[in-house]
Amino acid sequence: MNLYKDIAPWSNEEKGEINMVVDVPRGGSNKYEYNEEKGYYSLNRVLFHQMFYPFDYGFIPQTHFDDGDAMDVMLLTTFPTFPGCVIRARVVGSLETKDEAGGDLKVLAVPIAKIDPRWNEIEKPEDVPAHVRSELELHFKEIKKLEKEKYDKVVIGDWKDREFTLSEIRRASTQFMSK
């Protein structure tokens, strides 16, 4: 099974629930990437400094975003999972970022209630404590700090609401189908 091509992007589109494939578990410092064509994981790099992912990080299958990759997802989790884990998640919003590859929207999601009810009250980015949102922004800015050719190109934009984010996921899914 190919985790990118064979899994639907939506677990329940009406409810705004996606399927997410984990690349990097919460607390990890190894950046794994899924080879979408051949269907395997490889170690892309070890983070260049003492930093870790404060969330499970991965992608939405069957999406193709403006940067040429599947849409990125930061999943707020209670405990880390593992690379290749497929999680049903509820979209909360997104964070606009730009890097050396161009515009790169980071979808913010939480596990569906059946998986982990601790996140039920998070409906929009503003429901996430301001300090945690600042940590998420800092993560995407500072993760490339020691990669000199990339760091100056990282720009953190605005938080976007759920409806905007869902429309971007639909667009990325359509782009996947037409590629």
Is 57 known as a binding-site position?
yes
Using the predicted structure, report yes or no on whether residue 49 has a pLDDT greater than 90: no
Distances (CA, A) of 68 to 33, 64, 71, 145, 165: 14, 6, 9, 23, 17
Q: Which domains does the chain have, with CATH numbers?
A: 10-177 (3.90.80.10)
CA-to-CA distance for 37 and 63, rounded, in angstroms? Answer: 14
Q: By C-alpha distance, which of 69, 55, 149, 139 is closest to 104?
A: 69
CA-to-CA distance for 128 and 62, rounded, in angstroms? Answer: 27
Is 69 known as a binding-site position?
no
Is 170 known as a binding-site position?
no
pLDDT for residue 6: 98
Is 31 known as a binding-site position?
yes
Is 104 known as a binding-site position?
yes
Residue with the bigger pLDDT between 54 and 179: it is 54
Is 158 known as a binding-site position?
no
Predicted structure pTM score: 0.94
Using the predicted structure, report yes or no on whether residue 150 has a pLDDT greater than 70: no
